[in-house]
Amino acid sequence: MKREEFLNEKIPMVEIFNSISGEGITSGFLTTFVRVYGCNLRCSYCDTKYSYDGEYSLMAPIEILGEVNRLNCKRVIVTGGEPLEEEKIKRYIPLYLAQNGYEVRIETNGSVRLYDEDEIYQFTSKKERKNLFYTLDIKCPSSNMDKFNIFEENFKRLILGDEIKFVVGNVDDLDYSIDVVKRYKEYFKGVTLNFSPVFSKIEPSQIVDYLKIINKFFAENNLDVRLNLQLHKIIWDKDKRGV
């Protein structure tokens, strides 16, 4: 889609707010969250069902940018729902915000294509990805959505500053995650690998103990691996919105 077409559209939006980033390599930083409406998956542990089965408002791109400007954070996370659903106007919000000078991170569920060079060029007239990073989920079996994962096609588009997130609910999920890492390790150099426990389903200490056992593999392959806790669920009630 060309930028001029995008600017004339209206986009279903759930909320735009400031808080701290609760997860991943940006954890703890003040951030503006831009939450779009709609998702193509139905994960068993989803904690934002209101983003696909709740109220939304239609906003023009310039209105979204205006609200982000008002909140005055240089870091933006575009989340959902699923921001990169194909053939949806919302797919271009991250490119639009990055083009306007924000450092944008896209939280995407791993079942949709990441941008290719042609798509970026069509919107921005530049082929390189600038001010734009991915937090790419890999769905594990306990999500009941693992059959929708896109692996190599997306992995080859990752660069320094991107991250992978495995949300794990049990040891089987950990086994699955490590199998993916071993099969595609050549794509993960410079990419942070986050292991995040499903809230109340597995103890963080179990994940740490598991990762310690295979630390030699991570070291030998120069892989950056970390435990990822949802900081916002520690600070506030786990079901509280807009934080």
pLDDT at 237 over 90: no
pTM across the whole model: 0.94
In this predicted structure, what is the pLDDT of residue 235?
81
Mean pLDDT of the chain: 95
Whether the per-residue pLDDT at 164 is higher than 80: the answer is yes
- Considering the domain boundaries, does residue 40 fall inside one? yes
Q: How far apart are CA 127 and CA 121, in angstroms?
A: 5
Looking at the chain, how many residues does it have? Answer: 243
Q: What is the predicted pLDDT for the residue at 22?
A: 87
Annotated binding site for S-adenosyl-L-methionine, which residues? Answer: 45-47, 81
Structure confidence at residue 68 (pLDDT): 99
State the DSSP string of the chain: --HHHHTT--EEEEEEEEEE--SGGGTTSEEEEEEES--S---TT-S-GGGTSS--EEE-HHHHHHHHHHHT-SEEEEESS-TT-TT-GGGGHHHHHHHTT-EEEEEE-SSSPPPPHHHHHHHHS-SS--SEEEEEEE--GGGT-GGG---HHHHTT--TT-EEEEEESSHHHHHHHHHHHHHSGGG-TT-EEEEEEPTTTS-HHHHHHHHHHTHHHHHHTT-EEEE---HHHHHS-TT-S--
Residue 233 contacts by C-beta under 8 Å, 6 or more apart in sequence? 22, 199
Tell me whether residue 241 is in a domain: no
Give the mean model confidence (pLDDT) for residues 15-19. 97
Q: Which residues are annotated as a binding site for [4Fe-4S] cluster?
A: 39, 43, 46
CA angle 174, 229, 84 (to 5 degrees): 80
| pLDDT 10s digits, 100-153 | 999 999 999 999 999 999 999 999 999 889 999 999 999 999 999 999 999 999
- Tokens representing 156 are 């080859």
- Binding-site residue numbers for Mg(2+) are 48
* Residue 233 banded pLDDT, cuts 50, 70, 90: confident
Q: Is residue 19 part of a domain?
A: yes
Residue 223 lies inside a defined structural domain of this protein: yes
Cα–Cα distances (Å) from 5 to 82, 86, 122, 236, in that order, read: 21, 16, 11, 40
169 is a domain residue: yes
- Region 94-102: what's the mean pLDDT? 98
Task: For residues 80-101, give the mean pLDDT.
Answer: 97
Percent of the chain with pLDDT over 70: 98
- CB within 8 A of 43, min separation 6: which ones? 109, 139, 143, 144, 145, 167
> Residue 243: pLDDT above 70?
no
Measured distance CA(72)–CA(59) in Å, rounded: 19
pLDDT at 177: 98
> With pLDDT > 90 as the criterion, what percentage of the chain qualifies?
90
Answer yes or no: is 240 within a domain. no
Which residues contribute to the annotated binding site for substrate? 20-22, 35, 79
* Number of domains observed in the structure of the chain: 1
- Tell me which residue range forms the domain holding 157: 3-235
In a domain? residue 242: no
Say if residue 24 is preceded by a cis peptide, omega within 30 of 0: no
For 169-219, the pLDDT digits (tens) are: 999 999 999 999 999 999 999 999 999 999 889 999 999 999 999 999 999
Pairing of strands 30-36, 11-20: antiparallel
Give me the pLDDT at residue 1, please: 86
Query: Binding site, residues?
Result: 20-22, 35, 39, 43, 45-48, 79, 81
The CATH number of the domain holding residue 94 is 3.20.20.70
Do the domain assignments include residue 77? Answer: yes
